[in-house]
Amino acid sequence: MQITSKGQVTIPQEVRNRLGLLPHTEVEFEVSGDYARIRKARRAESLGRRGQKVLRALRGSADTRMSTDQIMALTRGSRRAGANGK
């Protein structure tokens, strides 16, 4: 594994999966002697930020109007999602 000219390293997929590192996940490094550890950031200000970004990106992108009852019926696997026409 090599460091790019920009100081970047690709974290192997197996490591990302095991640590739950998704795109835009905040990480932090702990340096000790001649090695460094990487882990998810534990800072309180980073909590929920990724979810907020996802919601902002998706807001207004639906192409079908559905009532809350219809959405909940789909979520629960009901076959009657559009039956009452709300």
Sorted by where each begins, the domain ranges of the chain are 13-60
Residue 3 has pLDDT above 90, yes or no: yes
Q: Residue 77 is encoded by which pair of tokens?
A: 């696997």
pTM, entire model:
0.44
Distances in whole angstroms, Cα of residue 28 to Cα of each of 38, 40, 41, 83: 6, 6, 5, 50
Residue 84 has pLDDT above 70, yes or no: no
Q: What is the pLDDT of residues 14-56, one digit of tens each?
A: 999 998 898 888 889 999 999 999 888 876 554 567 777 888 8
d(CA 41, CA 25): 8
Q: Which long-range contacts link 23-29 to residues 24+ away (Cβ below 8 Å)?
A: 24/50, 24/53, 25/50
pLDDT of residue 67: 87
